[in-house]
Amino acid sequence: MDCPFCHIDKEKTKIIKEGEKVMVVLSNPRLIEGHLLVIPKRHVEKISELNEEELKELFENIIEFQQKILSKISPGCDIRQNYRPFQKQNNLKINHFHFHLLPRKFEDEIYQKCQIFEKNLFKELTKKEAVKIVKLFN
């Protein structure tokens, strides 16, 4: 499957801002009204593949548009990035690094349909688990 972020269909995609190395677009399909994607123009799959200039422009745009969401749309904003090479690319999962900015409100549709169930997923961190994981990262 060709990368839809490398070959943006300007008829279907509303570009909000286009910089030298990064663009901000309305997500289509969207998870919630105002859902934005911040996408590097160069095709990479992991954040570690971005160079310093790309990282700078990427995070400047994330900060700028989070502030715009907070001041114009919603009192909250989730910022998400997923790396799931084990999933096949489709219209909901693109193998091109990007961030999602999601305007959030108290008990909004995302919360009601899925995040309410996350409460049951969280578990207390045990000492044994902490030691194991810390050893992996050292």
CATH 3.30.428.10 fits 15-106, yes or no: yes
For residue 41, give both structure tokens. 């123009």
Contact 38, 102 (CB under 8 A): no
CB 6 within 8 Å of CB 98: no
Give the chain's mean pLDDT.
94
Confidence band for 75, pLDDT divided at 50, 70 and 90: very high
Report d(CA 113, CA 78) in Å as an integer. 16
Domain ranges, ordered by start, for the chain: 15-106
Quick: pLDDT tens for 15-64.
999 999 999 999 999 999 999 999 999 999 999 999 999 999 999 999 99
Backbone angles phi, psi at 78, to 5 degrees: -80, 140
Q: With a threshold of 0.85, does the pTM exceed it? A: yes
Asked if the model's pLDDT at residue 90 lies above 90, the reply is no
Complete edge-to-edge strand list for the sheet that includes strand 15-18: 15-18, 22-26, 36-40, 99-104, 76-80
How do beta strands 36-40 and 22-26 pair?
Answer: antiparallel
| Number of DSSP helices (H) and strands (E) in the chain, helices first | 3, 5
